Chain A
């Protein structure tokens, strides 16, 4: 009987672990938000993080957007040609980029580039007693390390999403006009015709949520780190995997609500 129940016991334990971790994450986010009201914001630190998440990620986000838009244009062409609606390639690329691919791909790239860095930096500080040193010096580590990162991610993710989407649309245009040799004015005109402002700002709203998810999970995992350098590696991996899963999960929920 015990053997029959053991798989269910395992699943149950796993679900409890997920709920426990989600609860800890929410408490951590709440603690971090409270720190904003306890202390004044360190703008120097905030700007450093905005540069790190934003400007330093420009090339990788730009390339991601460019190639995604180009591929999208190419793939859409094969389908659109069959039913004779190649004039819809522009709106297809633009709507896909602004509503879905721009926010999600930006978030996943920022997770890989910045989330991992946040988790490993804070994790290393944890295992080398630098977090203890902050506490001993009466500096709240949540205020000093989490808040600038969470705020910077909230601000920079939408900006990077705009860039990603815009470059993606340009990439789609390059393929449409110069590779496929179609009328470039149709591409632009149809985008204006089919795209609404709400498509853009709902996509940006998603990006704000993704920013909160990335920075909260990554810094949380950093603070949780134990077990020396091996632990730093393990918790950094957890931060990236967990952030990516939560982004995809949140994407579905937000898409259902917003669009």
Chain B
């Protein structure tokens, strides 16, 4: 289980996270929604230890990762997979090597076993036969799918998705959402998705949380969020310009 307790973080005097509290339950997918630039990715980077909070704690299975040394933190990170917004694929190596990278780094599998694993996950994400292409030679949607494959290749306990559908057309977005659901059903990971795609959140999330003004202002099932009485949540999920959210504020 992942718990964020009283998390506060400022950049250049601007408070991005303000006393944020949230719990992510095991084997469920939680979608964190909120405005662009509202601190969702910053929160995600706290969970994986890429950013340290000004105050507060990040607990992964009860361990406060902010007090860990580099090597101990790396042991915790082995439980994670992460899908980056733009894929963050290594552009100097091909798709096969990108997906095989974590396996080569953290296991002593034979080359034949690595091949089997990579081909199996490539088939899961619908990219069979694309393994020799370079990241620059594939589309945005394919890059996201390679990112998903790389994140899942070591069968991690927790998978973080940073805006997995941003920049994709609606059909490709739906395909990525379906891929996340099918991969979750297969691997049973704890998923945290950062998104502002409301339809995608309803579809993929067991739980939806709304981040606003640096804090979680509402959390619940998709049905609960849909029927929320909170005017901020309501305005955001309906995508209305009129309401308490000032669209010039960020």
Contacts and interface: CB of A to CB of B under 8 A. Distances in A.
A128 B105 contact: no
A219 to B, nearest CB: 15
Contact of A137 (B70, B77, B85): B77
A28 to B, nearest CB: 14
Interface string B93-106: 00000000110011
B17 interface: no
A38 interface: yes
A132 B74 contact: no
Contacts of B102: 137
Contacts of B187: none
Contacts of A248: none
Interface string B69-85: 01100110110111011
A1 interface: no
A138 B92 CA distance: 19
A37 B115 CA distance: 31
Interface residues of A, number: 15
B86 A129 contact: yes
B48 interface: yes
A124 B90 CA distance: 10
Contacts of A136: 48, 50, 77, 80-82
A128 B86 contact: yes
Contacts of B77: 135-138
A130 B49 CA distance: 16
B70 A138 contact: no
A140 B70 contact: yes
Contacts of B49: 135
B88 A140 contact: no
A133 B102 CA distance: 10
A138 B74 contact: yes
A63 interface: no
A132 B88 contact: yes
Q: Which of A121, A128, A130, A138 has the most CB of B within 10 A?
A: A138
A130 B88 contact: yes
B199 interface: no
Interface of B: 45, 48-50, 70-71, 74-75, 77-78, 80-82, 84-86, 88-92, 101-102, 105-106
Given A128-B88, A133-B89, A137-B101, 10 more contacts: A38-B71, A129-B85, A129-B86, A130-B91, A132-B84, A135-B48, A135-B49, A136-B50, A138-B78, A139-B105
Leading 7 A-B pairs by shortest Cβ distance: A129-B88, A133-B88, A138-B77, A138-B74, A136-B82, A137-B102, A138-B78
